[in-house]
Amino acid sequence: MKKVVIITSSYRENSNSNVLAKQFQKGAESTGNTVEIISLKENRIAPCLGCNFCQIHGECTLKDKINEILDKIIDCDVLVFASPTYYYSISGSLKNFIDRTYAKFRKIKNKDFYYIGSCSDTSKDGIDRAIDTVKGFLDCLDNVKLKGVVYGTGLTDVGDAKYSPVFKKAFEIGKNI
């Protein structure tokens, strides 16, 4: 049994990437894993100040939920990011969040990593280019490997994910972590 943390980053109500994240959760839970979804919309993580306070004191000086969320990530076996593609990259909220891991990124290690993407284009390019940004983060972590991607391509409007073949695929990938 694995502990899974999914970070969702779309601010859109019933968003495609959030729907796929829930499918991934159901799949992972169906094989006995425990899953927590952490919504960046609900937690409103502020941008990194770049003050380096964390590099001296080990914790961020900003008083939002970042320290609590980072402790959950450090503790999990499987880390998942879910994001819409915005201009061939990840959402700003997810990039903000990644930057805020700076306080404890050295402790985020030995995990499998999955990415759930949604984009309008029918090609995978918009998601692969977004993943390139995430890879910069993964490259700074010790033994955290990209194990799989949920390609939510061809999704534009709210509700599209539910009627796409990727809806079932997200469940299957979650089931097989």
Ligand X SMILES: Cc1cc2nc3c(=O)[nH]c(=O)nc-3n(C[C@H](O)[C@H](O)[C@H](O)COP(=O)(O)O)c2cc1C
Stretch that binds ligand X, among 84-92, 93-101, 103-111, 137-145 (CB under 6 A): 84-92
Stretch that binds ligand X, among 15-23, 52-60, 64-72, 73-81 (CB under 6 A): 15-23
Q: Which residues contact 76 (CB under 8 A, 6 or more apart)?
A: 2, 3, 4, 5, 111
Nearer to ligand X, 116 or 141 (CB): 116
Nearer to ligand X, 29 or 121 (CB): 121
The C-alpha atoms of residue 14 and residue 53 are separated, in whole angstroms, by: 37
25 binds ligand X (CB under 6 A): no
Stretch that binds ligand X, among 8-16, 36-44, 132-140, 165-173 (CB under 6 A): 8-16
- Residue numbers 85-144 binding ligand X by CB under 6 A: 85-88, 118-121, 126
Q: Which residues contact 42 (CB under 8 A, 6 or more apart)?
A: none
Which one of residues 84, 98, 115, 138 is an interface residue with ligand X (CB under 6 A)? 84
Enumerate the H helices of 47-160 as residue ranges: 53-57, 66-75, 92-100, 125-138
The C-alpha atoms of residue 115 and residue 77 are separated, in whole angstroms, by: 15
- Residue numbers 29-68 binding ligand X by CB under 6 A: none
Residue nearest to ligand X (CB): 84
10 binds ligand X (CB under 6 A): yes
Which one of residues 135, 156, 159, 168 is an interface residue with ligand X (CB under 6 A)? 156
On whether the CB atoms of residues 155 and 161 are closer than 8 A, the answer is: yes
Q: How far is CA 167 from CA 66, 93, 131, 172, in A?
A: 30, 24, 20, 9
Which one of residues 4, 5, 17, 69 is an interface residue with ligand X (CB under 6 A)? 17
- Please state the closest distance from residue 150 (CB atom) to ligand X, in A: 12
Degrees to nearest 5, angle at CA 153 with 150 and 154:
150
Give residues in contact with ligand X (CB under 6 A).
10, 12, 15-18, 84-88, 118-121, 126, 155-156
